[in-house]
A and B are shown apart, each in its own frame.
Chain A
Amino acid sequence: SQTIHQWPATLVQPVGSPLSLECTVEGTSNPNLYWYRQAAGRGLQLLFYSVGIGQISSEVPQNLSASRPQDRQFILSSKKLLLSDSGFYLCASDRISYTFGSGTRLTVV
């Protein structure tokens, strides 16, 4: 079965600082990978998805970017964080059914 690793679990970053969140997948190959964000008290919003190495689709215009340097690695980045970037970030893979990583809670201060 597939396992998704996400780190860090929590992060507090100042406004204007860079961001890098990493997601790696085990137990499957060539998965579709997704980054979601969940703001406090709100639903899951799809940010990016990738169907393969170097292939990234953005769902909403924003201050973030994503990259997929390897088949099982998906990275979410920002050059300068905004207060509105705070939220719970979840990586997901859908090789069989949608499986989520444990998430990163980001607070921008």
Chain B
Amino acid sequence: GQNIDQPTEMTATEGAIVQINCTYQTSGFNGLFWYQQHAGEAPTFLSYNVLDGLEEKGRFSSFLSRSKGYSYLLLKELQMKDSASYLCAVKDFGNEKLTFGTGTRLTIIP
């Protein structure tokens, strides 16, 4: 089975930087995903990490440490439209299913 933990809520200021952490426990790690979900909408894919290190994509970056069972999503130059829930999800070896954390609701304030 899998255990995925991330903070329930965070608040950050427009223009600033925020880091959303995710820790996981799994029997056979095969990749970690980050998704963004605006209220009432479906999740949209942000990033995928399978090897240790940082993946950068514009204002968003995602980091993975497999030995620590830890990932973070870094959002820079925050905009009001970044207010959303951010979901961490893990895939196990041997199957293609994704197990999701409960998500972090991020609120951006002016």
Taking Cβ atoms with an 8 Å cutoff, the residues of A that contact B are 32, 34, 36, 42-44, 46, 49, 51, 59, 90, 92, 94, 97-103, 105
With a cutoff of 8 Å between Cβ atoms, the chain A residues found around residue B22 in the complex are none
The docked-state distance in angstroms from the alpha carbon of A59 to that of B95 is 13
Judging by beta carbons under 8 Å apart, are B100 and A43 in contact? yes
Which residues of B sit under 8 angstroms from A59, Cβ to Cβ?
Answer: 97
| Interface residue total, chain B, C-beta cutoff 8 A | 19
- Closest chain B CB from A20 CB (angstroms): 20
- Kindly state the separation between the CA atoms of A70 and B5 in the bound complex, as whole angstroms: 37
Is B72 at the interface (CB under 8 A from chain A)?
no
B42–A46 touching, CB < 8 Å: no
Distance between B6 CB and nearest chain A CB, rounded to angstroms: 10
A100 touches B96 (CB 8 A): no
What CA separation (Å) do A49 and B99 show in the bound complex?
12
Taking a contact as CB atoms under 8 Å apart, the answer to whether A46 and B97 are in contact is yes
**A68 to nearest B CB, angstroms?**
15
Given contacts A42-B102, A43-B103, contact A49 B43 (CB under 8 A): no
B21 to A: closest C-beta gap in Å: 16
Known: A98-B33, A100-B42, A100-B43. A43 touches B101 (CB 8 A): yes
Contacts of A44 in B (CB 8 A): 43, 87, 89, 100
Q: Which residues of A contact B87 (CB under 8 A)?
A: 43-44
A101 to chain B, nearest CB (A): 6
Nearest 5 A-B pairs (CB), nearest first? A43-B102, A44-B100, A100-B42, A103-B42, A32-B96
Other-chain contact of A97, B33, B40, B41, B42 (Cβ < 8 Å) = B33
Per the bound structure, the CA–CA distance linking A87 and B100 in Å amounts to 16
Since A43-B102, A94-B98, A102-B42 are in contact, a sample of 5 more A-B pairs with Cβ atoms closer than 8 Å, ordered by chain A residue number, is: A43-B87, A46-B99, A100-B42, A100-B43, A105-B40
A103 — which chain B residues lie within 8 A by C-beta? 41-42
Q: Which of B2-57 contact A (CB under 8 A)?
A: 33, 35, 40-45, 48
